[in-house]
Amino acid sequence: MTAKQENGNGTTEKVLRVGLLGFGTVGSSFAEVLSASGAQDVRITHIFNRDVARKRSHARARFVPAEAVWTERVEDVLEAADVDVVVELMGGLDPIEGWLRSALNAGKHVVTANKQLIAYRGAALFELVASKGVQLLYGAAVAGGVPVIPGMSQGLSGDQITRISGIVNGTCNFILSSMEAGADYSEVLKTAQRLGYAEADPSADVDGFDARAKLCILARIALRAEINPEDVPAQSISQISAVDFAYAKELGCTVRQVSRAQIDGDRISARVGPMLVPKNSPIAWSHGTQNMVVTSGRFGGDVVFSGHGAGGHPTAVAVMSDVRAVAEDSHAVRLPAKKVEVSGGVIAPHYLRFVVADRPGIVAAIAGALAKFGVNIDSILQHRGFGGDRLPFVVTTEPSNSATLDKAIAEIGTMDFMLEAPLCLQILVVDDPDTD
């Protein structure tokens, strides 16, 4: 696939020719990281982007070899005989999928940071890749510069991972860790938008759709389970308020958007949403936009990967590492996955926060509804300092099935004293046993 090139010493050396789709933050950072690496065996030969004239004046365009072809026609890259690997850094499903299928069909390798594509169309693409004998690498699709995909693929292939828990959306982690430090949700969301961490429409981040796609990618590698992202319940972080951090603190916890999938025989549970995280759990360590993934293996116990999950340079490191793997024909270990239905319900302790108009009998009514569904109460917490006309209080449950709990909550939500929809969050439990 790669071209042989005369080098200065009169000998020839393989060069991997890169066709780059997208010269935005990540694409231009990739050009810089490649240039800085001094690698003689990888070279950008083509760049596709809209408005090439503007892109060529980008400060990082100086990292692109002068002889590279800049084009606004994607076919110029996909059909080029002198492109060995297409590096796609644009994102989205369509038309990208069609473009990358053309490239793969033409025998080109593909490196991509496209989480939606791998989460939603990965299974079919992997089949195509296997039939063509090329590589499709996507280490940058989850957790940017944190090498969790290569680390799991190569370093944990010998274990049986039963659970994966991650902080894979830096925007939510920035928002929630700022709220932990006292910031208000809407204020910190505005800050995140100003800093470029959050989109004008923040839904993909705060409502968990971005994290859900990433969780499905990780589940395929870690749990060998092909899950449909649409089947994973996603709960928004937008309901979380200062009072939840106060109660969480009382419980020795904080609140983070956690993406979690667990396999138990043929049954898989998966969920994305704000959860109570014990302060002594690694998940509570990450702050700001950091990402973290914790795998729990049958034999190896818990393994933590953490670092910068986003940003041009960290993401470009992941892309560059994949390109190096292609250049050296270093294929990953095969991790065959099978299609699994998400069964939803999780057995876990839960945090229930109610906002009520205070009057006698409220606790009895709520406790009664929970008892009816077989949910045991672990504790009832009520902070002072709130007026009775709008009283937030918290019930924690003993380990309960979340699906059952949902039914109880639905019933409680209709009670006449309830001023807001009840908030129900899973409480994570630290349980990595010592392994021997």
Chain residues in the site for its own copies (CB under 8 A): 25, 29, 32-33, 36-37, 139, 145-160, 282, 285, 288-289, 297-308, 311-314, 316-325, 328-334, 434-436
Of the pair 152, 394, the CB lying nearest its own copies is at 152
The verdict on whether residue 11 carries a ligand-binding annotation is no
The catalytic site residues sit at 214
Of the pair 243, 304, the CB lying nearest its own copies is at 304
Q: How far apart are CA 228 and CA 209, in angstroms?
A: 12
Q: How far apart are CA 19 and CA 44, in angstroms?
A: 6
Of the pair 337, 363, the CB lying nearest its own copies is at 337
Q: How far apart are CA 150 and CA 139, in angstroms?
A: 7
The verdict on whether residue 22 carries a ligand-binding annotation is yes
Of the pair 306, 397, the CB lying nearest its own copies is at 306
Q: Which residues contact 322 (CB under 8 A, 6 or more apart)?
A: 111, 137, 138, 139, 140
What are the CA-CA distances from residue 365 to residues 233, 406, 407 (Å)? 28, 16, 15
- Structure-token pair, residue 233: 């319940």
Helices (H), 373-434: 402-413
The verdict on whether residue 397 carries a ligand-binding annotation is no
Q: How far apart are CA 87 and CA 79, in angstroms?
A: 14
Closest contact distance (angstroms) between CB of 347 and its own copies is 24
Q: Are strands 136-137 and 85-88 parallel, antiparallel or unpaired?
A: unpaired
Of the pair 7, 160, the CB lying nearest its own copies is at 160
Closest contact distance (angstroms) between CB of 171 and its own copies is 14
The verdict on whether residue 174 carries a ligand-binding annotation is no
Of the pair 170, 392, the CB lying nearest its own copies is at 170
Q: How far apart are CA 263 and CA 24, in angstroms?
A: 38
Q: How far apart are CA 434 and CA 436, in angstroms?
A: 7
Closest contact distance (angstroms) between CB of 307 and its own copies is 4
The verdict on whether residue 28 carries a ligand-binding annotation is yes
The verdict on whether residue 419 carries a ligand-binding annotation is no
Element (H, E) at 28: helix 25-37
The verdict on whether residue 345 carries a ligand-binding annotation is no
Closest contact distance (angstroms) between CB of 379 and its own copies is 27
323 phi/psi in degrees, rounded to 5 = -65, -40
Strand ranges, E, within 309-436:
338-339, 347-348, 350-356, 377-381, 391-397, 400-401, 423-426
Q: How far apart are CA 29 and CA 51, in angstroms?
A: 18
Closest contact distance (angstroms) between CB of 259 and its own copies is 18
Q: Which residues contact 98 (CB under 8 A, 6 or more apart)?
A: none
Query: Residues forming the annotated binding site?
Result: 21-28, 115, 199
Binding residues for NADP(+): 21-28
Residues forming the annotated binding site for L-homoserine?
199
